[in-house]
Amino acid sequence: MSPGLRSCCVFCGSSSGARPEYRSAAEELGRELGRRGIRLVYGGASVGLMGVVADAALAEGGDVVGVMPRALVEMEVAHPGLPELRVVESMHERKSQMAELADAFVALPGGYGTFEELLEILTWAQLGSHRKPCGVLDSCGYFSPLVAMLDHAVAESFLKPEHRELLIVAREVDELLSAFEGFRPRVAGPKWIDREGR
């Protein structure tokens, strides 16, 4: 394990999805984080892919931290077996805490919440608020339409190529974690395309 990668935040669905491969990828990621001694930081739920990745990390003796708004805890979706569950008051506080706790960010398949979390953390990287690696584990090509949309944004001059490169895309867990461990942040420059006369 790279000394710089001590913890990884995972964004993923509170559902398991339509394909068994999504669940398998979440299990593999959780197991590998546990084996490598990389702390899992996630949303704290026991349901869907969130529960799968946490259970897999815990089964390997991994350290797992969940961060969940009080309202969701009261709905009884919090994972009961976590070594640490941080209860916060809002979704905004949840995301802020997860960002502070993590050295890297990865998205597994999910819905609105997963997309929103991934795109926000990429925006923070674009603005220079952090210099941590961000990636997706692209099981069954789930993120291919999103990647195509980002490439389209570059083609239409709404996104710089160097900012598009802030997102690491991998199909396999080893490939993704190797990219994270070898990640070297660089200054991508200002995001404002129009100021450059483009």
pLDDT per position as a tens digit, 73-128: 999 899 999 999 999 999 999 999 999 999 999 999 999 999 999 999 999 999 99
The pLDDT of residue 173 is above 80: yes
Domain that holds residue 39: 12-179
| Distance (Å, whole) CA 188 – CA 194 | 16
| Distance (Å, whole) CA 27 – CA 22 | 9
> Which position has the token pair 């339509």?
18
0.75 cut: is pTM over it? Answer: yes
Does residue 32 lie within any of the structural domains?
yes
- Of 26, 13, 9, nearest to 132 by C-alpha is 9
Instruction: Give pLDDT tens digits for 116-169.
Output: 999 999 999 999 999 999 999 999 999 999 999 999 999 999 999 999 999 999
Does residue 186 lie within any of the structural domains?
no
CATH of the domain at 99: 3.40.50.450
Does residue 195 lie within any of the structural domains?
no
Contacts 24+ apart (CB under 8 A), 112-120: 113/11, 113/13, 113/14, 114/11, 114/12, 114/13, 115/146, 117/11, 118/11, 120/95
Does residue 147 lie within any of the structural domains?
yes
Does residue 192 lie within any of the structural domains?
no
Number of domains present in the structure of the chain: 1
